[in-house]
A = this chain, B = another copy of it.
Amino acid sequence: MSVNALSDLRASPGIIRVHGHRGARGVLPENTMLGFVQTFNAGVQIVELDVLVTADGEAVITHNPALKAASTRDESGEWLPEDGPLIAAVTYDELTRYDVGGLRPQTEYGDLYPDQAFLSGLHVPRLADLCALVARPPYTDRLLNIEIKSDPTLPQATPPIPDLVAATLSPILERGLSNRVILQSFDWRVLHECADQAPHIPRSYLSYLPRPNAPMTVTIYSGSPWMDGLRGENLPQIIAEDGGSVWSPYFQDLIARDVKVAHDLGLIVNVWTVNEPSNIDQMIALGVDGIISDYPARVQRRLMAHGFRWQ
């Protein structure tokens, strides 16, 4: 086993890595155990997932600070009328009462993934559940790309960063999985806390450049609150100097020159979230290390079409 996950995340001649985004959101309910298991069984080595922490300190696998109305039903099977309680405001036990197995019809979010299976009785899993899964055969060669969710503009939505990071690290360290995970965040304050608490676990710096009409508030620019005081325009250089191992830009932000800069600095480059075949082809041509996709099988097939493998 390698000292950390990086050797299995770095591209090598003829190999580009595939990360299943939230499992395989295009075809299976996101951030669910069923989604992770079936994605692994379908031949994907690396899954990406999102972590938040409950009121009672449990690291759980879910993307939004509050339960999402478009993908959540209550105990009686009714769709949430609006986004639900903050994850940070409910206990893990309370959270298990919600069903996150399917997307609500005729919602903007639901319509984004028309091939996603609709299931009932699926709950937000604990990070400990997924760590237990990959600690046992046949999943002991699988890797987790764990995004810790935190927003510097919404500090009340998540616990203090030291607690958020400690809760995330707890099941990883308990299962001895430090060499099977990377930790990523848009909030680089979180990555700095990870460096303090678990310096041996590789850190991945997510970025999203500002653009006109950007649909997200997470934008990384010199002096942005997301960068925790770091400054400059050359993201790969900043990340390398900050001790990062991975740069994970939005795929449309990436240009060939920056791939070279990043690689010259020893960084791994993982792009998110690449779903369209033409965009997948562009990323293969750019020579990234890893492609994060809601359709990991589609990426594998595009890689094969170009003579590549993923493992």
Contacts and interface: CB of A to CB of B under 8 A. Distances in A.
A115 B115 CA distance: 11
B42 A117 contact: yes
A109 to B, nearest CB: 13
Interface in A14-73: 26-28, 34, 38, 41-43
Which interface residue of A27, A34, A106 has the most chain B CB atoms within 10 A? A27
Interface stretch (A163-171, A202-210, A235-243, A296-304): A296-304
A105 B305 contact: yes
A27 to B, nearest CB: 5
A118 B41 contact: no
A219 to B, nearest CB: 31
A248 B26 CA distance: 30
Contacts of A116: 297, 301
Contacts of A305: 105-106
Contacts of A27: 27, 115, 297
Contact of A119 (B42, B103, B118): B42
A120 to B, nearest CB: 8
A114 interface: yes
Contact of A301 (B42, B105, B300, B302): B105
Counted per complex, copies of this chain come to: 2
A210 to B, nearest CB: 33
Report, nearest first, the 7 A-B pairs whose CB atoms are least far apart. Answer: A42-B117, A117-B297, A105-B304, A105-B305, A43-B119, A115-B298, A38-B38
Contacts of A106: 305
A160 interface: no
A277 interface: yes
A272 interface: no
Contact of A118 (B26, B38, B120, B301): B301
B301 A114 contact: yes
Contacts of A188: none
Interface string A104-145: 011000000011111110000000000000000000000000
A186 interface: no
A226 interface: no
Contacts of A92: none
Contacts of A34: 41-42
Nearest to A302: B114
Contacts of A304: 105, 118
A108 to B, nearest CB: 13
